[in-house]
């Protein structure tokens, strides 16, 4: 959610910090700030505006220095006000930025207040700043190591002190952080993309790591031995390319539009190297694990949850294996029945989604379900690291908060999982396998044909932009796609939208239908089409206005009160991937017509790394 950039160098680091924040803007934020050490004093600038306005403030106030920390904040504890913006400062000595949530902040706050510390914010982060200052004797590294021992919760922090002008100390627990190694400078950030313009030499810090950065040296420490003392450890240096093109719009108006149109390429990349359906696609020991699997449990949040719901239909039909799908944020807070023969599948774009990561750990550690698989877009993420098996989608960096290409690449990976399980269960012969592979390889072409319908969708969007509410309907495997379509519309256009299985329409939602209510219907030409047509007639009889995404061979005509867009192909079981592209375009162009901030919708963040 929040973004961190910190640097120590032989040059002024403020331009580097501001550029890093700009690269992290896609994650969503409502305040930002910078702090530096210069001439033995802390300098700070904070804003509840955008990063470019923070840059202007830094220039006006003369904020500069060779050591600094910077942050974009998405409000959790405390409103989005300047007093709560990071960096937080303790007694003009310690400045700190923080991602995560400190669960015992109230207890520590009371202890520090008893010692005379005055709090000027409502944040849990200020507790850490004062705690580090209270632990400080003559060494910032020792102070941070001591302070983190008192913290419960998740954190990624970067800390500077006024009397140590060429040093940054950083630490992480439950929230991601990377170290960037430069020439005459070193950096830490919450995302490698933030420092990609400076260096491609990246170290992914492990849970519990503390790192000491100086301009020409860095050391990582981890707790070792029975006494849990911090000791120097080795961490692998990786070459990570900067994703330079990912932050450039090119010919598109918004990143969301760009990412919608990148989907054929993203799906093609995700399928690269898939010459046959094989368990080895998911890991070297996948075949043994899959053969022992009697049930699947999917854990995910938001859009990834809808991908899991779609996969349930595919896997149960193709492989004949029962599936459960749980919202990750709810799963670990209820009593459930563990099963050691269950494959626990987590789905996450970032692989750092706090709720999903916690659910994975609960299933594995508390319930003893050791068979784990992660579908993820980031190979170096915590979720991938903590799972026995993985499939890495290749969506590339997704800047827009509303997920598009991450979703369709997740669906692609999940369809491969369904085919793999079907093959192992003797339900996919060689001829059928070749047919399925051919359809998968053609999928990017079919998606491009849907994208060509953009002008027709734009006409729909102009009508939607004046609406207050919308209803989405789908049946069978297309019901999760209706859910995803409603989510996209509400996320970026702020139009209230809900989705229902079309058969449930008469059990309540039909009461909402009148001539002001647009009803979007996902209508592929499948075995449920005739049932769906009956549901559509129920809408028309109440004066509702239908917007139908149909296949080219569906016998559904445009008439008064019913608008039809025909997708070029009937794509069978893979049809959900095509229909969701049309709904993405509808949400995007409705938002554009309304003039909302498409890429940074209010109150939302890209990477949800707090619970």
Residue 562: per-residue pLDDT: 80
What value does the mean pLDDT take over residues 316-328? 97
Question: Which pLDDT score, from 0 to 100, does residue 65 have?
Answer: 96
pLDDT of residue 459: 92
**161-180: per-residue pLDDT in tens?**
999 999 999 999 878 899 99
Q: What is the pLDDT of residue 558?
A: 67
Q: For the chain, what percent of residues have pLDDT higher than 70?
A: 96
CB 418 within 8 A of CB 323: no
- Across the range 275-289, mean pLDDT stands at 95
pLDDT digits (tens, 9 = 90+) for 374-433: 999 988 788 998 999 999 999 988 888 889 999 999 999 999 999 999 999 999 999 999
Give residue 310's pLDDT.
98
Predicted confidence at residue 531, as pLDDT, reads 77
Q: Which residues are catalytic?
A: 2, 606
Q: Which two tokens stand for residue 71?
A: 């942050």
Query: In the structure, what pLDDT confidence band is assigned to residue 437 with cuts at 50, 70 and 90?
Result: very high
What's the pLDDT at 243? 54
Tell me the average pLDDT across 480-490: 96
Q: State mean pLDDT over 253-277.
A: 93
pLDDT at 539 over 90: no
Pairing of strands 178-181, 185-189: antiparallel
pLDDT band at 298 (very low <50, low <70, confident <90, very high): very high
For position 605, what pLDDT does the model report? Answer: 62
Quick check: 245 pLDDT over 60? Answer: no
Q: Which of 149, 236, 238 is nearest to 192 (CA)?
A: 238
What's 184's DSSP letter?
S
Give the model's pLDDT for residue 207: 87
Q: Is 87 helix (H, G, I), strand (E, B) or coil?
A: coil
Question: What is the model's pTM?
Answer: 0.78
* Residue burial 390-414, b: 16+ Cβ < 10 Å; e: rest: bbbbbbbbbbbbbbbbbbbbbbbbb
Length of the chain counted residue by residue: 611
Average pLDDT over residues 19-37: 87
| Averaged pLDDT, 187-210 | 90
């Amino acid at each position: 959610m929040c973004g961190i950039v910190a640097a120590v160098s032989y040059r002024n680091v403020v331009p580097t910090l501001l550029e890093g924040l700009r690269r992290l803007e896609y994650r969503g934020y409502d305040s930002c700030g910078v702090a530096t050490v210069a001439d033995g004093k802390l300098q700070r600038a904070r804003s509840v505006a955008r990063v470019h306005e923070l840059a202007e403030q830094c220039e006006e106030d003369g904020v500069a220095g060779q050591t600094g920390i910077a942050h974009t904040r998405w409000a959790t504890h405390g409103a989005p006000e300047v007093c709560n913006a990071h960096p937080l400062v303790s007694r003009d000595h310690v400045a700190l930025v923080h991602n995560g949530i400190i669960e015992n902040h109230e207890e520590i706050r009371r202890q520090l207040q008893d010692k005379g510390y005055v709090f000027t914010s409502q944040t849990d982060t200020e507790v850490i700043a004062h705690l580090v200052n209270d632990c400080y004797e003559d060494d910032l590294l020792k102070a941070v190591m001591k302070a983190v021992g008192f913290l419960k919760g998740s954190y990624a922090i970067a800390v500077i002190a006024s009397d140590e002008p060429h040093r940054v100390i950083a630490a992480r627990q439950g929230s991601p952080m990377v170290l960037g190694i430069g020439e005459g400078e070193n950096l830490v950030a919450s995302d490698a993309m933030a420092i990609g313009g400076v260096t491609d030499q990246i170290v992914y810090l492990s849970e519990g790591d503390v790192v000491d950065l100086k301009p020409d040296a860095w050391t990582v420490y981890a707790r070792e031995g029975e006494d849990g003392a911090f000791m120097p450890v080795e961490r692998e240096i990786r070459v990570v390319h900067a994703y330079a093109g990912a932050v450039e719009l090119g010919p598109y108006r918004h990143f969301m539009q760009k990412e919608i149109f990148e989907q054929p390429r993203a799906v093609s990349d995700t399928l690269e190297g898939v010459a046959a359906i094989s368990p080895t696609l998911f890991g070297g020991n996948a075949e043994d694990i899959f053969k022992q699997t009697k049930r699947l449990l999917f854990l995910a949040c938001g859009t990834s949850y809808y991908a899991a719901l779609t996969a349930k239909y595919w896997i149960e039909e193709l492989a004949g294996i029962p599936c459960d799908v749980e919202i990750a944020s709810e799963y670990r807070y209820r009593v459930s029945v563990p099963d050691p023969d269950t494959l626990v599948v987590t789905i996450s774009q970032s692989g750092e989604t706090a709720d999903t990561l916690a659910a994975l750990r609960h299933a594995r550690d508390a319930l003893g379900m050791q068979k784990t698989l992660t579908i993820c877009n980031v190979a170096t993420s915590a979720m991938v690291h903590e799972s026995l098996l993985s499939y890495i989608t290749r969506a590339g960096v997704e800047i827009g908060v509303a997920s598009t290409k991450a979703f369709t690449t997740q669906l692609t990976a999940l369809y491969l999982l369904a085919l793999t399980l079907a093959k192992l269960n003797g339900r996919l012969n060689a001829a059928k396998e070749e047919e399925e592979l051919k359809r998968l390889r053609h999928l990017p072409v079919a998606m491009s044909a849907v994208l060509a319908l953009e002008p027709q969708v734009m006409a729909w969007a102009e009508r939607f932009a004046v609406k207050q509410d919308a209803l989405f309907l789908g049946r069978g495997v297309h019901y999760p796609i209706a859910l995803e379509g409603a989510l996209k519309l509400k996320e970026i256009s702020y139009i209230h939208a809900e989705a229902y299985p079309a058969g449930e329409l008469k059990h309540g939602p039909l009461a909402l239908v009148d001539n002001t209510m647009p009803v979007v219907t996902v209508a592929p030409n499948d075995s449920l089409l005739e049932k769906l047509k009956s549901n559509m007639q129920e809408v028309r009889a109440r004066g509702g206005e239908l917007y139908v995404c149909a296949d080219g061979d569906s016998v559904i005509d445009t008439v008064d009160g019913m608008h039809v867009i025909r997708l070029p192909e009937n794509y069978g079981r893979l049809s959900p991937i095509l229909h969701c592209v049309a709904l993405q375009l509808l949400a995007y162009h409705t938002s554009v017509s309304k003039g909302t901030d498409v890429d940074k919708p209010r109150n939302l963040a890209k990477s949800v790394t707090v619970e």
